[in-house]
A and B are shown apart, each in its own frame.
Chain A
């Protein structure tokens, strides 16, 4: 079987496609890449289908050994890429051969890297998706993060070629601009003063930050109601338990919950948050559904207008 052997799994490396969509009614969350744009670029730079299965590497220290001749790319956070010990460009397709050692080192900035191979990894989908959601034990290999000795099957593609994305188009993972929040849900359970406090204060990402939620620490904004009838939770929702400390809900969030929510993060900024490490100070600014809608369309237009540069075999 051609593919890659996992020599060292890193802190948390997950097999993922673009997510498990359309199964909220039996309680399945979406999972999928925390930084969808970096994931999309990884596949695009290899000419893959947008939904092809890749790896999300959190923090780093992943080591793979190629058992196949193919092409790969590493996008996302600044995880130094080495092939056979030699530092290589990220955001650029590289040819690898049987026996090559591929390393994604510890991140300098940005917590999540995306490693894609030509044609994607060949993983059978569960409920329509290969996205690993450890809490649900679904997707990937047995619903778990990569382990030493795992095999990642993929087809041989020695002549696939690919592209590189010039530096000016690569995201800046040191961007500290405030995160945009669309007020909604139980926003009336927060007084004008509390909202003011929320939008003018700095919050710290606590150590309890994972793919399900990022717990923040900062000025408490306890809601005027203790709990609500459990209801659907969208991506990026910001729930506030009675201790007043906000929790931003990410891709592996629960689909339903009963804590009051002040609103939801704009997805582009949710991806930025997910690229940050515990201890980072963040702040928020209000945003509307209309502004979000316009920004999403602009982002999509920008993405489709960029022309990456071909890298030939």
Chain B
């Protein structure tokens, strides 16, 4: 484990630099331990693939003391257990109309549009993190052949439900927001609804697979254009 500075009252713990269910389990383990080690001095935590952002109250503790307490995690970073989460199936309307980056991504990959769709839809993914926006679930791993870097300049508005790829991650934009991922389709399922309980269909550790649908079915399921 490596500790780095994030901001004036936050440190970030790195457990590795790859997408790996075992590292993800270590992060999950560290969440509970950090809550215990910092107690009321903890403001919030952001767990992700291989890191944990720790935000603390600078009026109750300082970074030296936080580092000292979190060292215990490094000495004691027993691997968390990798649990098999629930499998959730989500429908996706893949097309060049709903996925404005699909064609460019296929061209770069040297594949046809249909091959890109097939590769994306036949993989089973794990939910590695939730963040960026309410209900934004980071899913891994995308098949290497269709991995694509983020856009050099992010879009100002990505429509709600957009299914997207960034490197070997894939996700569904739960609401309209700026974003730099490659858009390949649209999912009609609400990924975040504050009035529902639970407010999200997935949680960290779940498995997700995608089922291709056509435009008519997308609209039938409540998808927006």
Q: Footprint of B on A, CB under 8 Å?
A: 21-29, 126-127, 135-138, 182-185, 208, 212-213, 226-227, 229-237, 241-243, 254-259, 263-264, 266-267, 289-290, 292-293, 296-297, 300
Contacts and interface: CB of A to CB of B under 8 A. Distances in A.
Given A24-B45, A229-B51, A184 B152 contact: no
Interface residues of B, number: 55
A257 B178 CA distance: 12
In this complex, the member of A232, A235, A254, A292 whose beta carbon has the largest number of chain B beta carbons within 10 angstroms is A232
Interface stretch (B78-86, B95-103, B132-140, B211-219): B132-140
B7 interface: yes
B113 interface: no
Nearest to B23: A229
Nearest to B132: A254
12 contacts: A127-B194, A135-B133, A137-B175, A184-B6, A208-B156, A229-B18, A232-B12, A258-B150, A264-B6, A292-B8, A292-B58, A300-B59
A231 B53 contact: yes
B46 A256 contact: yes
A293 B62 contact: yes
B7 A27 contact: no
A235 B55 CA distance: 10
B5 A289 contact: yes
A24 B42 CA distance: 13
Interface string B18-61: 11000000000000000000000001111111111101001100
B167 interface: yes
Interface string B129-152: 111111110100000000001101
- In order of increasing CB-CB distance, the 6 nearest A-B pairs are A232-B53, A232-B46, A256-B131, A184-B5, A264-B7, A292-B8
Nearest to B166: A258
Contacts of A254: 131-133, 136, 177
B8 A266 contact: yes
B119 interface: no
Given A127-B194, A227-B149, A232 B48 contact: yes
Nearest to B52: A232
Given A136-B133, A254-B133, A297-B59, 19 more contacts: A24-B44, A25-B45, A25-B131, A26-B130, A27-B136, A28-B134, A135-B133, A136-B134, A136-B175, A229-B17, A229-B18, A231-B49, A232-B6, A234-B55, A241-B180, A255-B131, A256-B136, A256-B138, A264-B7
